[in-house]
Amino acid sequence: MWDNNRHAGFPTNREPEDFGKYCRVIENFPKPNISFKDITPLLLDGPVFNRAIKEMAWRFCGKVDAIVCIEARGFLIGSPMAYELSCGLIPVRKQGKLPGLTHKATYNLEYGTDTLEMHKDAIKPKQRILIVDDVLATGGTAAAVVNLVRELKGDVIGCVFMGELENLNGKSKLDVPVYSLIKFKE
């Protein structure tokens, strides 16, 4: 159950903070002509990271049974959000990394395919699921996870990202509400 007293110092009727100013751009990474949007400086600043997690979490208070977070950087965002919302945490990992029975989703990448897995018993039917990852780019990974959750009979209430690369229009691949804390224009 959500403890409103714990969040009394975080008003929702204020001017939104510009969390993008805590990020940096690294040119030509991971390959030439790519401008990598690096959230690491935000993660390094404890008070800023705390405010960012609270900003992403408050709108889902009382609406989420579990957070599904996507390997590997999604774990950095999803774990503190699950803690903040006092809900369960379900990891989605690359194929072969989870023990036990798994359900998998294979999806297309720019050059090939990839496969993600989740434990078959991780989601109960109609459980309210929030999918969390670090950055929304083309939307392929998030769309695959939405489908994976639905195949396991979960109710996807939305996707949350710390950042979104708006020019790649990944949101168009998602048929659920999407919230991004930081919108990178280029």
Crossing angle for the helix pair 46-57 and 73-85, nearest 10 degrees? Answer: 70
pLDDT per residue as tens, the chain (186 positions) = 334 444 444 555 667 899 999 999 999 999 999 899 999 999 999 999 999 999 999 999 999 999 999 998 999 999 999 999 999 999 999 999 999 999 999 998 777 889 999 999 999 999 999 999 999 999 999 999 999 999 999 999 999 999 999 999 999 999 999 999 999 987
Domain boundaries, the chain: 4-184
Q: Give the burial class of 119: count Cβ atoms within 10 A of its Cβ; 0-12 exposed, 13-18 middle, 19 or more buried.
A: middle
Q: How far apart are CA 134 and CA 84, in angstroms?
A: 17
User: How much is the pTM?
Assistant: 0.91
Contacts (Cβ under 8 Å, ≥6 apart) of 140: 107, 108, 109, 170, 173
- Domain 4-184 top-level CATH class: alpha beta
